[in-house]
Amino acid sequence: LSGCDSGFGQATARHLDIMGFRVFASVLDLQSPGAQELRQSCSARLTLLQMDLTKKEDIQRVLQHIQAHTNSTGLWGLVNNAGFNDTIADAELSPLGKFRTCMEVNFFGSLELTKGLLPLLRSAGGRIVTVSSPAGDMPFPCLAAYGASKAALSLVMDTFRSELQPWGIKVSLILPGYYKTGTTCDPAFWNLQKQRLLASLPQELLQAYGEDYVEEINQQFIQFMKVAVEDLSAVVNSITEGLLAANPAVRYYPGQGLGIMYFIHRYLPYFVRDLFLKGFFINPKLPRALRREQHKDVKKA
């Protein structure tokens, strides 16, 4: 189970431990408050492992540890939960490095871990449960870097689902609504990210879009955070069902409002979908350069 420092990973590790499973829980930092909390609240069956999904040596160390402890039995389940995003901005304003980091953690890291554990999962005819995001299915405004990595993750897991059927391995995707996890709901964190983004933007882009444009996006996102759900049990239950149900669903959608969102996405015209996503999530005002042009047009008229 990856990404157990906080949020879904931490709650799921605790839940599976209470159910009596032997859990290998990976954390970014063994001394983090989340790791300490798991040490105190879980049984001796739970093993905490340090892993940064962007570091090959970390993944290899975790793979070796799990292999050494499950070689005779195989591994029943892998939960790919670790995820990363620290940019809320238009794709044009998001540095290329942010796209790469999202891909490294959310896609390549999870892919490497999954491939490394597949021999153990095959021998047990086990399960792979992966936490993706509706942002990987739909073009949420200002989430391109994160969404692109989750789209790649969803697709590769769907491919595994099809290819691993002969081995008896079942693969499920979890696409949660908006929940309160880790730094995702900390306004101070997002304000700092906004300042860093503004400092890194080329002058021409800053002129075209305007500092107030970036400020407005950040304010709207902080406002949106207030609807984040604190009770993570719907997601934990979906992950648990993916691991234990005789016939788990291919996709789980824990969270409110996802039914209407996917209905609009699948059956209504693109412009309706785009309007809905802006109304639901972030609706940026016009970039500065376009506001100037509009102003000129009004004067001419």
The residues that are catalytic are 146
User: How far apart, in whole angstroms, are the C-alpha atoms of residue 274 and residue 93?
Assistant: 19
- Evaluate whether 129 touches 174 at the Cβ level (below 8 Å): yes
d(CA 10, CA 6): 5
3-class DSSP assignment, residue 129: strand
Helix axes 258-267, 270-280, angle to 10 degrees: 150
Biggest CA–CA distance in the chain, Å, is 80
Residue in 154, 124, 117 with CA at minimum distance from that of residue 1: 117
- What residue type is assigned to position 255 of the chain? G
SS3 139: coil
Residue with tokens 């009596």: 20
83 CA to centre of own chain: 4
Query: CA-CA distance, 201 to 178, in Å (whole number)?
Result: 29
Cα(108)–Cα(159) distance, rounded to whole angstroms? 15
Asked if 244 contacts 155 with a C-beta cutoff of 8 angstroms, the reply is no
Tokens 């391995």: give the residue.
169
DSSP string, 191-254: HHHHHHHHHHS-HHHHHHH-HHHHHHHHHHHHHHGGG-B---HHHHHHHHHHHH-SS--SEE--
Q: Output the six-digit token pair for 7.
A: 């949020």
Please name the amino acid found at residue 122. R
